[in-house]
Amino acid sequence: MRGDRMSDLTLTKIRLRNGAWEGRLTGAPTTGKRPDIRVTHLDQPVPDVELVEGTDSSFWTLTIPVPDYAIADGVQTFLIVDGETETKLGDFTLIAGESVPDDLRAEVELLRAELDMLKRAFRRHCLETS
């Protein structure tokens, strides 16, 4: 029955580059049956998702192109689901434009940038006073 069992699939992120998220899917039956992977953004299916079987049938490569309309201000979240069991396998998030004031990740990045600036200023001060 759908939705009441866990997926045997495991999704591991490879990278996000050139406008596409890439991951490796393992745990699929080796019978050549294509896993039913669904990717959504704002509860709508993401077009042009590719799932390519690996060379030794032990994995599949998942490529999710980021649609142009998803490159926008704010936080954009993509959900990756095993369509057979309706189990969430993973997700990824894009953040662009003005940072959301309550977004902890944006605050941490801002703190890191300020800390780097202070470290450079402190090192410069130490060199000048020695």
pLDDT at 101 exceeding the cut of 70: no
Question: In this predicted structure, what is the pLDDT of residue 92?
Answer: 93
What residues are paired with 53 via a beta bridge?
Answer: 60
Q: Mean pLDDT over residues 39-51, rounded?
A: 94
pLDDT at 2 exceeding the cut of 70: no
Question: In this predicted structure, what is the pLDDT of residue 31?
Answer: 66
Higher pLDDT, 121 or 109: 121
> How many residues comprise the chain?
130
Per-residue DSSP letter, 69 = G
pLDDT at 122 exceeding the cut of 80: yes
Write the CATH number of the domain with boundaries 1-98.
Answer: 2.60.40
pTM of the model: 0.73
R_g (Cα) of the chain, nearest Å:
20
What ranges do the domains of the chain cover? Answer: 1-98, 99-130
The two structure tokens encoding residue 89: 């396998």
